[in-house]
Chain A
Amino acid sequence: MRENIKIIGILTIVCLGCALFLALTENMAKEKIAYNENKAIKDAIFNIVKECKDIEAINIKGKTVYKIFDKNNNLIGYGFLCEGEGYQGKIKIMTAVNNNFEKLLGIEIISSSETPGLGAKINEDFFKCQFKGLNIKDPIEYTKGKVRKDNEIKAITGATISSRSVVNILNKTIKELKSNIKVK
């Protein structure tokens, strides 16, 4: 009995101590992490659309969409976050499309947990650049061989699943938003 109480006591103290310590760290880093994430979103839009001068967040059916304006205050497109399952976890992609939802202006990977060195290559320029100017009137497709159509990208060698995930995530979100924005 005495031994049991000791075990429970020690475990409780250790867990409480650890929890306290974690709460303190989390509290100190919380703002910085939120700031980093927010900055990553803004930077991503500016990175994709070089002409972008200003953005404005609007809400479409519970989803945040950023209107993208150029320096003459003309609406040149929309930016939004696409999210879905990758090979090993969630992939978040910042996506920009032109103002009539016919062309992709580009994409930027915000966060992913794909295999380092393989799937993680979706973060690299050679992959992301393929999406620039892609036709999105029809769903995007991927190929392992030569790219032949204007709505097609080349999958990464050794990371077909990650490449396919990116394409599927984009298709799904674009389709959803397309119908909603046209209604507006």
Chain B
Amino acid sequence: MNNFLKGLWKEHPVLRQLLGMCPTLAVTTTAINGLSMGLAVIFVLFFSSLIVSLIRKIVPSSVRIAVYTVIIATFVTIVDIFFKAQFPQISKALGPYVPLIIVNCIILGRCEAFASRYNVRESLLDALGMGIGFTWGLFVLGAVRELLGFSTILGIKILPSSFNPLVVMILPSGAFLVLGFMVAIMNKIEEKSKK
């Protein structure tokens, strides 16, 4: 169980390990984009961890990275095709960042550091924990940016029209700002709980 929970908070992939910064900063202009990216990553992480864990004993260590990459690339391409077929709108919004999940270091990182060493059950728990952690991180980041930049969340108007949207939140600098605050809050809470 601990393997599941650690990804949600203690070893949060985005806010603690600071992994997968490229999609984190790039796609979180709206909450829905962050959420879809997160769900795509959960799918890829779950199945890659499953396969990697299953074949961990027969893959020679000298070619393991190549094997993991091929497996990850396969699942990412499936997600990409699925989005194009079922959700053309989301596919349009995420653009090149779906195929780029292949090089998302969280996935290769979890395969290498965890799935290749533990049994299927533990690997899947780890993958789900990390995936959900990644998703809530991106969702919150996207929601804050959308709220301040467009005064909406998930397309629903929240702030009154007297509020002047801060364009900077939609620009890349806004992603860095919000992420910085989120990491800071996370550290503060951690510090308090230690005392």
- By a beta-carbon cutoff of 8 Å, the part of chain A in contact with chain B is 3, 6-7, 10-11, 14-15, 18, 21-22, 25-26, 29, 32-33, 36, 40, 88-89, 111-118, 120, 123, 157-158
Expressed in whole angstroms, the Cα–Cα distance for A33 and B92 within the complex equals 13
A contacts with B: majority SS: helix
Contact status B84-A36, CB under 8 Å? yes
Residues of A within 8 A of B94 (CB): 116
Segment with Cβ contacts to A, from B57-65, B112-120, B128-136: B57-65
Contact status B170-A112, CB under 8 Å? no
- By a beta-carbon cutoff of 8 Å, the part of chain B in contact with chain A is 26-27, 29-30, 33, 55, 58-60, 62-63, 66-67, 70-71, 73-74, 77-78, 81-82, 84-86, 88, 92-97, 149, 167, 170-172
Contact status B95-A113, CB under 8 Å? yes
11 contacts between A and B (CB under 8 A): A7-B62, A10-B59, A10-B60, A18-B74, A22-B74, A25-B81, A26-B81, A89-B96, A112-B92, A117-B29, A157-B167
Contact status B85-A33, CB under 8 Å? yes
Residues of B within 8 A of A118 (CB): 170-172
Residues of A within 8 A of B81 (CB): 25-26, 29, 33
Shortest C-beta distance, A31 to chain B (Å), equals 9
Contact status B78-A14, CB under 8 Å? no
Known: A21-B78, A158-B171. A10 touches B85 (CB 8 A): no
Expressed in whole angstroms, the Cα–Cα distance for A11 and B65 within the complex equals 11
Residues of B within 8 A of A33 (CB): 81, 84-85
Contact status A11-B67, CB under 8 Å? yes
Known: A29-B82, A29-B85, A32-B85. A117 touches B170 (CB 8 A): yes
Contact status B58-A113, CB under 8 Å? no
Contact status B63-A7, CB under 8 Å? yes
